[in-house]
Structure 1
Amino acid sequence: MNAERNVSATSAAREILRRLHDVMATKAGAQAKLNRVVDIVAGALSSEVCSVYLLRDGVLELFATRGLAQSAVHVTRLAVGEGLVGTIAKTREALNLAEAKAHPDFAYKPETGEESFHSFAGVPIIRQETAIGVLAVQHVDPREYADIEIEALQTTAMVLAELIASAGLVDDQTVQQARERESRPARMTGLKLVEGVGRGQAVFHQPRVIVEHTVADDIEAERARVYAAFQMMREQIDNMMGQADFAAPGDHDEILETYKMFAYDEGWSRRINEAIDTGLTAEAAIERVQMKTRTRMRATKDPFFQERLHDLDDLSNRLLRIVSGQMDTAAKRGLQQDMILIARNLGPAELLEYDKRFLRGVVLEEGSLTAHVTIIARAMGIPVLGRVKDLRTTIFEGDPLLLDAQRGALFVRPSEPVVHQFEEQVALKARRQAEYAKLRDLPAETVDGARITLMMNAGLSSDLEALDITNADGIGLFRTEFQFLVSATLPRRERQTRLYKSVLDAAGDRPVTFRTVDIGGDKAVPYMMGDTVEENPALGWRALRLALEREGLMKVQARALIDAAAGRTLRLMFPMVSEPWEFDEARALVEAQLSRMVARGHPVPKKIEFGCMLEVPALAESLDLLLPRLDFLSVGTNDLTQFLFAADRANPKLADRYDWLSVSLLRFLKRVSDQARAARRPVTVCGEMGGRPLDALALLGIGIERLSITPAGIGPMKAMIRSLALAPLQHEMEGWLRRGINIRTALTEYASSRGIAAG
């Protein structure tokens, strides 16, 4: 039945376009044309009702209808956001409802006589990225419209936008007035993707291409235009790949290779050609396929697939600009002022086009922590805020913006007090950074002479320059999984070897601890995980559990690490060890690869040191068995804490139950630290806890003397350490933990009264 409806709807879409072409060619007035349009659409989709609402004087006015009361035309009005029609105009998203009255935004207008209709579908009519109207259909029987029918409505809405603009029914002044109503100061929130702050003018990455002509006169000519545009786009992508400027090869190469794969995707070009076959121009066909892609993006739950579709969306925009001759993005205009770049989403290659001297931040309507553009932006040191809703309806080109990605906030057209506060915040940060820079060559040593080891966490080639900038004691945690996460396929051994060798070369004589691949859970890799769905992924098939089962993965990584560390010391750490036998199996696997390479005459490390991550609380109960087999122990406080408290660290409702300064956690860590010290095994804390001065103060107080933190945290941490007398703090901590008092309050007061820089 659905297949029959799809075939019928496909035929209807072609018929609608053919007949709309005839309507556009007539010399009838605009009202007469709209009246004819609603007749055509209602008949083609077998709907009892088809209506067009247009934006007039700030409200949506019923302009033409077939099926509703004719007396309601030019009488029924809805505010933007009111009713189903107003909701479509506000969100600029389609609605498809089997029972309209069940929707929370339904608003009944008695003069229309629509009480007998159940189903409802509507799409926005877009002009200059502003909803200037709504096209809607209704049906007596409750049913959802097929996807192909919604596409037919979207195509019709594209044609209507052209008709409405040419007839002057909604002029540019009306669009501008709609924008001005939203021009007051605003504070928008989103997801911190790359930390940092920035100030500049709003610059839209790509002003939306206005598709002026939607109905094709010559289908073969349109097909030829698309073919030529594909050729030009592919040449551009090839050139960009040769111009990417990064510190070292590795992660970024694979991102751009995936991007190139989509540029050469034959399925994509075939879908555009099929849209042209229905009678659309090249521009309209690209936009129609892009709309369908965005619908799929919103529907899919697979984050990996979403990011690949984001790349395809980016390429669609590029192709549309080429075929329309509107090829300039903001990057091509040679902007010479500080700017905050605004985009729905951004492809990695497009970000590379911008002059880093003027790019102060990026704000995305979509985006995620694992998106390709996020990884590239982090490498470039550009703050990024993602998941910010209603960007196009709230921000206009040239608006002053303040971006505070640290707090997940964007201030639009900020008031003077907000600007003043922001300037003070930036000035204070600059003063602090200058003070931290003075400490670069000084040891992380307490007032009473205790030397604390301060290392940095890393995971990208671009992180390595921070070693010299911060003068860190080494890399206490190198997350090898990043290379796996940004790749569309399993990274080859040679590529892994190049990355690991570049890390060791950058570190020189300083130690580097490589954590073997930690994927699974919230770091899903489709080419490894397949369609696996886990109810509790953080507690599931991940990290060492996955690697031991897929031992081919670990064997390849072991050989790459051994090869990269030839003639040097290799420090290996296994993640999420639950019991000693898991560590034994992992170590035996690595040692077998070492023996294999020695037998074949390959150069090997002069020494391999083995350690593990303590993240699973159960491991603490068998440390007496495990410590003699280890060279070192690392504590991952992020996972350890959520496992100890049975509190998901990503759940805001549990934020007050996820406290690193709780007596329970500190007592646990102190037992681990004391036991490792007795066994003469060094303990390093690698989680976020060690990068927060007050929390790190507690770690020092219980005997932890090795921290591995983000590069940005090394300056503040060194300042705290050099203002501290360690022995008195450790004495106080003993008493606090014994009495079970509020450690956070006690530490805050202690630091304040003794001038310890823990703020």
Structure 2
Amino acid sequence: MPVSAAASAREILTRLHDVMAKRLPAQSKLNAVVEIIGTALNSEVCSIYLLREGVLELFATRGLAQEAVHVTKLAMGEGLVGTIAANVATLNLAEAAAHPDFAYRPETGEEKFHSLAGVPIIRRERAVGVLAVQHADPRRYDEVEIEALQTVAMVLSELIANAGLVDAAAQSTERTLPTQSTSLLGFKLVDGMARGVAVFHQPRITIEHTVAEDTEAERHRVYAAFDKMREQIDRMASQAEFGVGGEHDEVLETYKMFAYDEGWSRRINEAIDSGLTAEAAIERVQQRTRMRMREIDDPLLRDRMHDLEDLSNRLIRIVSGQLGTAAQMGLRQDSILIARNLGPAELLEYDRRRLKGVVLEEGSLTAHVTIVARAMGVPVLGRVRDVRRQVAEGDMLLLDVGEEKLFIRPTGAIEEAFEAKLALSQKRRAAFAQLKNVPPVTKDGHRVTLMVNAGLRDDVAALDLTGADGIGLFRTEFQFLVSATLPRQQDQQKLYKSVLDAAGERPVVFRTVDIGGDKALPYLDHDESGEEENPAMGWRALRLALDREGLMKAQARALLEAGAGRTLNVMFPMVSEPWEFDEARSLFEAQRAWLGSRGRKLPAEVRYGAMLEVPALAEVLDLLLPTVDFLSVGTNDLTQFLFAADRAHPKLALRYDWLSPSILRFVRRVTGQAKAAGVPVAICGEMGGRPLEAMALIGLGIERLSITPAAVGPIKAMLRTLDRGALMSEMGAMLDHPPQNMRATLARWAEEHSVELA
């Protein structure tokens, strides 16, 4: 057997280079190729299948029956070969027939061969064929052999493309685009509206030459490209236009970590050692990354892999001299950027004056690019399927992220409606901005406390922009979600202190980390929990923090030192029973005593609160309330737990109403008990940010709301037109004898009493 992947691949590539240089028919070249590979890998069978007219056709083989060539055909997804092509993934099987997708083809004479290894032949990110080897003995192939096959498959893609052996549609990036007006749905990542022409972020660079003439020359090209790329990243990190001090700093630091990763550069060097050109070596490593991404279930880890792909694309452009992204060419007019995915550094390259919005085929709320876009104020719509197939460069686009919709080549009527909505939105925002310094007081003189939810350092700016009373919920887990490793205590302390400094005299309520469950961190070991079927109700939030005492101790010290000389408000999420709150508070107090014994400056006062999200806690409020300083009702989780309905499930998202009597009665009971105990209670969550729902909550006696910054203006406007006393009397009667449609009844009451529900 060959001693290394590089040596075996280099041996094959050297001989393939000679074959490709000869004036031979394409079929003769492929016949020679399977002999070369089979001999080099000591393989009894080596076969090449190519995509023709939508099916995979056996084009050349050593070891199978020659009569099967051009006769054996498999559909995409059919048999092991079809599975490899459809999934663009490698198979390595000791017993091929035991695989559920195995399909026997008698004409090939393959029944005597037990083992099989197959790799996709990839062209422009699509499988255009399969390279497979087989042995009679049952055995799994060594990683060395798989590496060699994957490298050879890359060179084969060049050979078959130049010979015109595969479907033109499989090779071409050209497509027939529709010209009529249409729209696509997506997922809201960063809210906002935008109008502009379609600009594609990155034209695909096709690698035409894969086999190196001079390995050392290729290595020097890669070294020079790495130096240039790192210089670009360092420059962008130092010139970030939206300032410093936010979590986007950590995003860029993580990005730089990838850029300087020695493991990545080593893998590229190993690919060059195997005989590939610099461009092909980078693409080879990138293909392996893409295959790994398809196997990763963790969305956060997939996002980090996208950062690495972003850097790979950048490196290929540098080494090939094709620096042709839309950012480098410059935006000439108001534009909406279209991309499969986007790295944070690439977004920073764009002219903010011209970049009006971003549309991604992929993307998630925790992706680095989402965090940076939010800091830049650029609306982003993600998970827009087939957008690159439906949109042509220069098409007029209208982006309405709030409606989760992209309008393509809009008609005059659609444009008119969009412009009217945009103008109304701008007018409303201007009107709400005028309320910034106006207190949130009802018509009958009752002052309501309006606070905002935050998770980024830059979110604190919303206090001055909206005139909010403070931050009622600062989600500390965001720092954990954007970090490649567990944030150090010093970094946590720096963030918390900067938030408190920016808030000034206004209170900030820090919620301790709510991670785990559906917010899993790749750097935390989750062996104890395994794969959770119901992550929202699983090993997360306070449960995880109490179990990982070291994590919570570090956060406690960071918060306590950040709050030195001030009032520190700490809130524990997902408290299910009073003992959990008691244990968390005791842990904080122990750290407070530890810091004090070492002469550290401490907060003047520490106030402890609990989030009521688990319905069971409401049954023991008499035991909890004497121990807490404040209570917050988290309506998002509470609703799904009360109704046993996953709020992320598309079929259930609109099934249960926040204005259901069951929710309102629950809140009324909790509010009444808390008030009797002298404990302030707030609503945290989306429910409090909707004018009609907020009106109902005020009618139940709620006096504190913590909502998104964008909701502060509309809620203030509603409050200033509301007679709280009249509503409270009405709400009591409604809940004692609920109408059939509580929402419609409340909306009618608001209209009759001229309550502004913007």
Task: Specify the code of the residue in structure 1 equivalent to 2:123.
Answer: I
Q: Which amino acid aligns with 1:241?
A: A
Residue 292 (structure 1) aligns with: 288
Distance in 1 separating the partners of 2:417 and 2:156: 47
Equivalent residue in structure 2 for 1:470, among 466, 473, 488 = 466
Higher mean alpha-carbon deviation, 163-172 vs 345-354, is at: 163-172
Work out whether residues 688 and 709 of structure 1, in 8 Å CA contact, stay in contact via their aligned partners in 2. yes
Among candidates 579, 584, 604, match of residue 586 of structure 1: 584
Equivalent positions of 1:76-225 (< 5 A) are 93=88, 123=120, 125-126=122-123, 133-134=128-129, 155-156=151-152, 158-163=154-159, 178-180=174-176, 186-225=182-221
* Distance in 1, Cα, partners of 2:287 & 2:223: 20
Distance of 2:131 and 2:291 partners within structure 1: 18
Q: 1:634 offset after TM fit, Å?
A: 1.0
2:478 maps to amino acid: F
Could you tell me which residue of structure 2 aligns to residue 315 of structure 1?
311
- Distance in 2 of aligned mates of 1:200 and 1:406: 17
Between the aligned partners of 1:84 and 1:419, the Cα distance in structure 2 is 49
Cα pair distance change 1:745/1:69, threshold 3 Å: farther
Corresponding residue for 1:268? 264
- In the alignment, the residues of structure 2 paired with residue 40 and residue 425 of structure 1 have an alpha-carbon distance, to the nearest angstrom, of 65
Q: In structure 1, the residue corresponding to 2:231 is in which secondary structure?
A: helix
Q: What residue identity is the alignment partner of 1:588?
A: S
- TM-score of the superposed pair, with normalisation by structure 1: 0.86
For 2:309 and 2:489, how far apart are their aligned partners in 1? Answer: 32
**Alignment partner, residue 525 of structure 1:** 521
Q: Contact between 1:204 and 1:342, CA under 8 Å: does it hold in 2?
A: yes
Distance 1:85 1:398 in 2: 42
Q: Which residue of 2 aligns with 1:664?
A: 662
Residue identity matched to 1:755: S
Return the match for 1:423 from 419, 422, 429.
419
| 2:231 alignment partner in structure 1 | 235
Matched, 1:362 2:358: yes
Q: Deviations over 1:177-215 (max 9, x none)?
A: 951256665543333222223232332323222212101
Q: Kindly tell me: are residues 102 and 171 of structure 1, through their superposed partners in 2, closer, same or farther at Cα, counting changes over 3 Å?
A: closer
| Cα distance, 1:712 vs structure 2 | 0.9
Note the C-alpha offset of 1:695.
1.7
Secondary structure at 1:199 match in 2: strand
Instruction: Summarize deviations over 1:486-536 as a string: whole Å, max 9, x none.
Output: 223332333222222222222222222122222222222344444443434
The counterpart of 1:633, out of the listed 615, 631, 634, is 631
Supply the distance in 1 between the matched residues of 2:712 and 2:138 (Cα, whole angstroms). Answer: 60
Of 302, 305, 330, the residue aligned with 2:298 is 302
Secondary structure of the residue that 1:613 maps to in structure 2? strand
Retained in 1: the 8 A contact 2:190–2:401? Answer: yes
Task: Kindly provide the amino acid, as one letter, of the partner of residue 335 in structure 2.
Answer: M
The C-alpha deviation readout for 1:578-608, integer Å capped at 9, x for no partner, is: 2333323333333343344444444333332
Match for 2:267: what amino acid? R
The 3 A distance-change label for structure 1 pair 140 and 537 is same
1:728 maps to which of 726, 729, 753: 726
Aligned to 1:460: 456
Counterparts in 2 of 1:352 and 1:178: CA distance versus 1, 3 Å: closer
For the residues of structure 2 that align with 1:700 and 1:137, how far apart are their CA atoms?
68
Give 2:666's aligned amino acid: F
Q: Any stretches of 5+ residues in structure 1 without a counterpart?
A: none
Report the CA distance between 1:234 and its aligned residue: 2.6
Distance 2:392 2:65 in 1: 37
SS of match in other structure, 2:642: helix
The alpha carbon displacement at 1:150 in A equals: 7.2
SS in 1 for 2:651: helix
Q: Which amino acid is 2:751 matched to?
A: S
Name the counterpart of 1:553.
551
- Aligned mates of 2:68, 2:517 — CA distance in 1: 59
Sort the Cα spacing of 1:143 and 1:672 in 2 relative to 1 into closer, same or farther, 3 A: farther
Output the amino acid matched with 1:738.
Answer: D
Question: How far off its partner does 1:378 sit?
Answer: 1.7
Equivalents in 2 of 1:532, 1:302: separation in Å? 17
* Aligned mate of 2:398, from 399, 402, 408: 402
Q: 1:677 to 1:528 in 2, by over 3 A?
A: same
Given the alignment, which residue of 614, 631, 647 partners 1:649?
647
Using the size of structure 2 for normalisation, the TM-score is 0.86
Q: Describe the shift of the 1:195–1:149 C-alpha distance in structure 2 as closer, same or farther (beyond 3 A).
A: farther
CA distance in 1, matches of 2:65, 2:179: 36
- Corresponding residue to 1:17 among 9, 13, 17: 13
Kept in 2, the 8 Å contact 1:39–1:50? The answer is no
Q: Is the 8 A contact 2:566 2:605 kept in 1?
A: yes
Amino acid across the alignment from 2:226: F
Q: Which letter maps to 2:482?
A: V
* Equivalent residue for 2:601, pick from 576, 600, 603: 603
For residues 346-365 of structure 1, give each alpha carbon's deviation from its aligned partner in whole angstroms, at most 9, with x where no partner exists: 22222222222222222333
Instruction: List runs of 5+ in structure 2 lacking aligned partners.
Output: none
Aligned identity (percent) is: 60
**Paired residue secondary structure (1:652):** coil
The structure-2 alpha-carbon separation of the partners of 1:422 and 1:34, relative to structure 1 and needing over 3 Å to count, comes to: farther
Deviation, 1:442, is 2.0
Q: How many residues align?
A: 744
Q: What is the CA distance between 1:684 and its match in structure 2?
A: 0.7
Q: What residue number does 1:750 align with? A: 749
Give the C-alpha shift of residue 299 in structure 1. 0.2
Equivalent of 2:703, from 688, 702, 705? 705
Query: Deviation at 1:447?
Result: 2.4
1:481 maps to what in 2?
Answer: 477
Deviation string 1:27-84 (CA, Å, 9 cap, x unpaired) is: 33556546655666687765475343467xxx789795557998996x99999x8989
TM-aligned CA distance change 1:120 to 1:693, over 3 Å: farther
Change (3 A) 1:63 1:541: closer
1:673 shift after superposition:
0.7
Deviation at 1:394, TM superposition (A): 3.9
Q: 2:51 touches 2:166 (CA, 8 Å); kept in 1?
A: no
What amino acid maps onto 2:355 in structure 1? Answer: L
